[in-house]
Amino acid sequence: MFAANRSLIPIRHYVPRICLQNFSQQDSYSRDEMTHFGFQTISEVDKKNKVIDIFSSVSTKYDLMNDLMSAGTHRIWKNTFVNDLNPMPDYKILDVAGGTGDIAFRILEKIKEPSPDGHLIVCDINKSMLDEMLSPLQFEDNSFDAYTIAFGIRNVVRIHEALEEAYRVLKPGGRFMCLEFAPMEQPILGEVITGDWDSYQYLIESIHNFPPQEEFMQMIKNAGFRFVTYKNLSLGIVAIHSGFKII
């Protein structure tokens, strides 16, 4: 009943706040430290700003592009992701890089009968991907039962810090879940839909540069998570990564 019209209003019935906040220490980004931006090498500050610009430029047609580029398969991937999470009614969930709320709405649909003890917070670096912006929240240690991020972590400037931040905000026993691409796809259709070749060229290049599944699994372990696994979907086009905070 929460996603009948897929507006942000149903989320508010269950969620104290929707926030717009980056999930790593963006103020510490450096113009001296270099990082990948697609196939380019640029400063960390420039990457942060370029990522914001890219998702602003494609935000209005992002969901349509995903449907056409994946022939609707991204919906199956996201459904599988939320089914694997299996959220409970009293869960406190942080959905990072939540974009237009695709994962958040699926979580609400899965929960069906939310508890007043549960809440879901959607965060995104780009206000154009959300219908509105509320003041940022600062999350305390051991706050959430689950931390989800779908098709977002490859755009992070410092992935290892994002993983450490996920570990910090999760409660003991909390679960980190990430849905992310592995191989590179062609961006032709994305350009046709959005008229923005550069933005979708970057998205494809970012997929190419993202660590393979085994390497990313080790990064998750290095952040402190245990029982770390991944599951390939669609012959490894995407993978669901999972890990637990034990202590």
On the CB side of 81, CA atoms within 13 Å amount to 30
Q: Is 100 annotated as a binding residue?
A: yes
Q: What residue type is 223 in one-letter code?
A: A
Query: What are the DSSP calls for 118-186, one per residue?
Result: -EEEEE-S-GGGSS-------PPTT-EEEEEEES-GGG-S-HHHHHHHHHHHEEEEEEEEEEEE-S---
Residue 59 to residue 200: CA distance in whole angstroms: 12
State phi, psi for 166 to the nearest 5 degrees: -60, -45
Sequence ranges of the binding site: 100, 124
Sequence ranges of the binding site for S-adenosyl-L-methionine: 100, 124
